[in-house]
Amino acid sequence: MQIAGQTNVTSIRFGSGSVNGIGKDLGRFVVATMELPWSITEGKLGADPVAVLMVESMEQEFVDQQVASAPPCDTVVGIGGGQAIDLAKYFAWKKGCRLVTIPTVISVDAFVTPAAAVRQNHRVLYVGESSPDPLIIDYDLIRTAPSDLNVAGAGDLLSIHTATFDWEVAHRAGKSEYPYSQDDIQTARAILETVAENASEIRALSDRGLRTIVEGYMRVNTICLPAGHYRVEEGSEHFLFYELEERLKKPFIHGQIVGLGIYVMSRLQKNRVEWITSLMDELGLRYQPVDMGIPKDAMVASLQVLEPFTRKRGLWYSQIQETPLDLAQIEGLLRGLRF
């Protein structure tokens, strides 16, 4: 199907088995992937690639060498999770060739965003611009990934709950960094409503549930790409995650750690706490600190320094600036969490 509205996805194919035989229509193609996703898709493409690039490192220098040494091709196909898709996006941008993306898990939104995430000295950098044609959402393929990871894909949609609230807070305080748009906030909240209406489908990872997540990401893009920022889905819940990541120096599953941020920040905001918490529970999103190996003292320390942290990092104005936290308040925010 062709895509209406502003998104970077040129065309999309939904359906179980939609990956079958795709290799026949791509001319000479290079695959960017990892061992596991490649092992489950290799036999389905119906044609052989001229080269297979395995994700080894996303350091830009390394990726540049990989791209430069690849044989000439018409198309690059990204098969896998975020990094494989990012490698393909980067390749397509550098070479100016056609991009096809086949996510095998939908835990992150890399497959609908235009820029590729690469690293320079271990810091993430977003570069280039690319549009998949088509993006292929093969439900059966995606269901081969661990279900916790796919459910976590809803995390960046749920963050609309706290992020839009933060934008309203910033607007009221006269501190919004961007022209405030009530329309964008309403449109984003409608996406969140769709997630809530389809919660049991998402939990079950039915075709409809997976499609809800993918379309949710694309609808977020139709708001954020024209606006030039992601304020409707990135706010205080993400900022807490940035601090925890820097503090604990370990990787997290994005949607899960964002879920923890939503739990805490919806309480700080006094923002429909029961509703969003039961929605996360209904989806089966794992947001408990115990699931992610986050000790309570780290969590407390993180919240104690969060306000200066967001200022130092130049992060957007949010509820964090409005409510200075003492220890008793932090205890209150963490009630119900398991460490």
Return residues touching Zn ion (CB under 5 A): 156
CB of 17 to Zn ion, least distance (A): 30
Phi/psi of residue 110, nearest 5 degrees: -50, -30
Burial class (CB in 10 A: 0-12, 13-18, 19+), 240: buried
Classify the C-alpha dihedral 329-335-337-339 as positive or negative: positive
Q: Which is nearer to Zn ion, 156 or 201 (CB)?
A: 156
CB of 261 to Zn ion, least distance (A): 9
User: N- to C-terminal Cα distance for the chain?
Assistant: 46
Instruction: Specify the DSSP class assigned to residue 311.
Output: H
CB of 258 to Zn ion, least distance (A): 5
Q: Which is nearer to Zn ion, 156 or 243 (CB)?
A: 156
Radius of gyration for the chain, computed over Cα atoms and rounded to the nearest angstrom: 20
Q: Which is nearer to Zn ion, 45 or 118 (CB)?
A: 118
Contact 23, 76 (CB under 8 A): no
Place of tokens 């081969």: 144
Classify the C-alpha dihedral 266-321-167-231 as positive or negative: negative
CB of 238 to Zn ion, least distance (A): 6
Q: Which is nearer to Zn ion, 53 or 279 (CB)?
A: 279
CB of 233 to Zn ion, least distance (A): 7
Preceding peptide of 37 cis, ω within 30°: no
Write out the two tokens for 184: 């964008």
Q: Which is nearer to Zn ion, 201 or 233 (CB)?
A: 233
Contact 64, 91 (CB under 8 A): no
Contact 162, 270 (CB under 8 A): no
CB of 278 to Zn ion, least distance (A): 22
Q: Which is nearer to Zn ion, 41 or 256 (CB)?
A: 256
Q: From start to end of 132-193, where are the E strands?
A: 132-137
In angstroms, the CA 81 to CA 103 distance is 6
Q: Which is nearer to Zn ion, 138 or 156 (CB)?
A: 156
How many other CB atoms are there within 10 angstroms of residue 329's CB atom? Answer: 14
Q: Which is nearer to Zn ion, 71 or 251 (CB)?
A: 251
CB of 108 to Zn ion, least distance (A): 8
Contact 83, 24 (CB under 8 A): no
CB of 122 to Zn ion, least distance (A): 19
User: What single letter denotes the amino acid at residue 26?
Assistant: L
